[in-house]
Structures are given as C-alpha cells and as structure tokens.
Homo-oligomer: A and B are copies of this chain.
Amino acid sequence: MNIEMIRAAAGRLKGNAAVTPLLESPLLNEVAGRRLLVKAECLQKTGSFKFRGGWSAVSALAPEVRARGVLAYSSGNHAQGVALAARLHGVPAVIVMPSDAPASKIANTRAYGAEVVLYDRQKENREAIGAEIAERRGLTLIKPYDEPQVIAGQGTCGLEIARQAAEAEVMQADVMVCCGGGGLTSGIALALAAEAPGLRARPAEPEGFDDVGRSLAAGRIQRNAAGAQSICDAILTPQPGDLTFPILKAHCGPGLAASDEECLRAMALAWARLKIVVEPGGAAALACALFRGDQIEGDAVIATASGGNVDAPMFRMALERYAAD
C-alpha cells in the first residue's frame, strides 16, 4: 500500500464517483466549540464511501477476470458499493449479507442488480460461505477492508479532504474517521500523511467495539469482547485488519469512542444543521467531534459522515429523541 495506489484509484474514480462536499455550519461550530468541517460521504453514490473502494477494486481487475463477476460479504454498505460498481461495469455480483442487516440495505443491494445470499450471523461464517460460492462460480472476492485496491479507493476520500480543508484554510486538525475494519481510516491516513501533514486521522468507534483504538494503545491487535451490542451496524468488526492495522499504527492518532445515544444525537444535529442524512455507524466520527471535544486539540476538527443508509424507524427515533420540535 502506498500513496501512488491511492492516486491511481483517484484517476479511475474520476467522473464515476462523486466529489462530496466538506460542509460547515456556524451553529454546529458552536456545539463543537471549534470549527467543525464534515466530509459528507453519505452523499457518495450508494449512500456511503464504500462505492469508492468498490469501484476502485472492480475497475482494477483484469477485464477477463472481471467479466466472470465479483463476490463480496458485507452488512450493507460495501454490499451496495460493490453491487453498483459491478453493474456499471456490466458484470455480475453476488453479495453475502447477514439476514439481520437493515432492510433497506438488503433491498438496495438487490435494486443495484446484485444476487443477495443471506446468512445467519450467529451460526454461520460469511467468509466460508463466500469462499465456497466464489470458488464454485469463478467469482473474484472483494474483501470489505483488508484488500489493497479497496483501501486505495477509500483513500481517495482523504485526497479530497486534504484539498478541501486547505481551501477552507484549515491546515492543522484531527480528522475523525468512522472506523470498522479500518479501510477508510487507513486510506485516509495514508492520503493525509502524503498530502496534508498537518491533518491527522483518528479512528472513531462505537463503545464496546473500540478494537482499533485499544489495538493502537496496546501496539498490537486486540479483539472486541463478545456480546457487545450497538446500533452502529456498519462498523461492528471484531478486530483491525492484518493489512489495515500496520497503516493505522504508522499514521493515526489515538482512537475515540462514542455511545449509541451520542450517535443518535449527532444524527439529529446533522439533520438540523447540515441537512444531511447520516446512519448510526456513519455518525460515530461526528459524535466524537461534537461530544468528546475534551479529547481533541486545536481550533478545528474534521469528521467524516461516512454513510447515510439508515432505516426509517431508526432515523425517526433519532429525531424524536434529539431534534427540537
């Protein structure tokens, strides 16, 4: 993994992925206690940054390999990103998804033309199911984060943050990144290290799933304890990736963690102040920027709003609890 792979991915994404805006609201700055710039990746195609990695990986395949089709396993955002990238390349996609994924994520993955295979998250192993189908049907597996071209694609978000922060005259800031397996965080960290040395990536995780933060503190990979629960479905991974962790260790600041309620509050504030729709897992970085400011230094902070694929009842609940009537 290196910055040249990210720049090459940016070339392949140009004109195919959206350049998402870096948003700011004076009234949200007041809540954060400093300038807060929000990278609105919920406005990316398929509603999350995952389209970047999906497009990067599918477009990097040799044409004769790509033509046989691709396979991914995902709770929903990588699923949609790979599904649409495959459709736009005119190749088949099979997506292995947990049967308890948000209904809209399953429906959208099918709407983008993919074949969805559901599995039971408690009893079955998605890697084994995926490997068997890929082998049998000659499909190329596109892993959700521990895959160089996926990391390169997510890193293009970091190239945009570097340029857009400079345009906003923010040269020095922590960049909170919603973090599951670390694909987006490691990609952004690599891009910032190369292009914006005053900006530092920091993983933002749900409480109870702060494996990356604890791994960074310990200096080696730590797993999450079994049995924790969170509404942040998009970023619930057991441990950092083998490929992502060394990058995170080399380039990231300390991790932060947000509670489910803080994520819901951040969703309501993003709705009220930025006019964007953010899902719970996509709100973890914003929640840390807003409510964990004591762990952040400097006059400015940047947060990724990494996805917006949330079912209506969950979103209504965020507004009922935290949006002023």
Contacts and interface: CB of A to CB of B under 8 A. Distances in A.
Chain A interface size range: 35 or more
A118 B313 CA distance: 36
B18 A23 contact: yes
B320 A42 contact: no
Contact of A275 (B25, B47, B320): B47
A175 B135 CA distance: 49
Contact of A315 (B45, B278, B319): B319
A54 to B, nearest CB: 14
A114 to B, nearest CB: 13
Interface stretch (A55-63, A93-101, A104-112, A244-252): A104-112
Interface of A: 18-21, 23-27, 40, 42-43, 45, 47, 84, 103-104, 107-108, 111-112, 271-272, 274-278, 308, 311-313, 315-316, 319-320, 323-325
18 contacts: A18-B21, A18-B23, A21-B21, A21-B43, A25-B45, A26-B84, A27-B108, A42-B275, A107-B324, A271-B315, A272-B312, A276-B276, A312-B323, A312-B324, A315-B319, A315-B323, A316-B316, A316-B320
